[in-house]
Amino acid sequence: MHAQEHSNFREGLVVGLIGAVIVAAWYFVIDVAAGRPFHTPNVLGKIFFRGDVNPGVRTIAPAVVASYTVLHLLMFSLAGMGLTLLAHLASRNLGLRMGVWIGLVVTWFFFAGLTFMLSTSTGERLPLWTVIVGSLLGVGAMGAYLWRRHPRLATSFQERPLGDEVEAPPHPPA
């Protein structure tokens, strides 16, 4: 593929928007099913923009929902660009695959911990399971898009399993 097709910025923006839309749709479906549309972005917006860890559930503040939606899109766009950069680097240098994997796992657990703290501090107004499932759906969609766009990275796992990136040093004679 041409270098233009694999622009970190453009491809990363697409990857981030895919994740953002998947997660936003997940929250919307969960909120509508519970009979409270826009509840999740309202709660998160009040936490992030008003510092309110005990946000009211009955009132939806459209400005807060809009502000959080912009933040949501920006954060996912940045994450998509970072993930795209890592995918490009790992497809060129197979030694980076394990680092990418470890980085993704550590980052996911960091956000899971942050979500747990937000969930408990808000009195379960932000259910932990909805955020974790939404995150997994978003990251899975982003990863699937990059997997399809970078066949060299995908086939590298058939050539060398994860963790077998570097040759082990020879052992000294016994």
Dmax (CA) of the chain: 73
Predicted pLDDT of residue 3: 43
CA–CA gap between residue 147 and residue 159 (Å, rounded):
16
Which of 16, 29, 34, 26 is closest to 137 using CA atoms? 26
Which of 89, 108, 103 is closest to 156 using CA atoms? 89
CA 58 to chain centre: 29
Q: What is the pLDDT of residues 5-45, one digit of tens each?
A: 568 899 999 999 999 999 999 999 999 999 999 998 998 88
- The residue behind tokens 């197979």 is 94
Provide the pLDDT confidence category of residue 56 given band limits of 50, 70 and 90.
low
SS3 labels along the chain: CCHHHHCHHHHHHHHHHHHHHHHHHHHHHHHHHCCCCCHHHHHHHHHHHHCCCCCCCCCCCHHHHHHHHHHHHHHHHHHHHHHHHHHHHHHHCHHHHHHHHHHHHHHHHHHHHHHHHHHHHCCCCCCHHHHHHHHHHHHHHHHHHHHHHCHHHHHHHHHCCCCCCCCCCCCCCC
Q: What is the pLDDT of residues 99-149, one digit of tens each?
A: 777 777 777 787 778 778 878 877 777 788 888 898 889 888 998 898 899
CA 23 to chain centre: 9
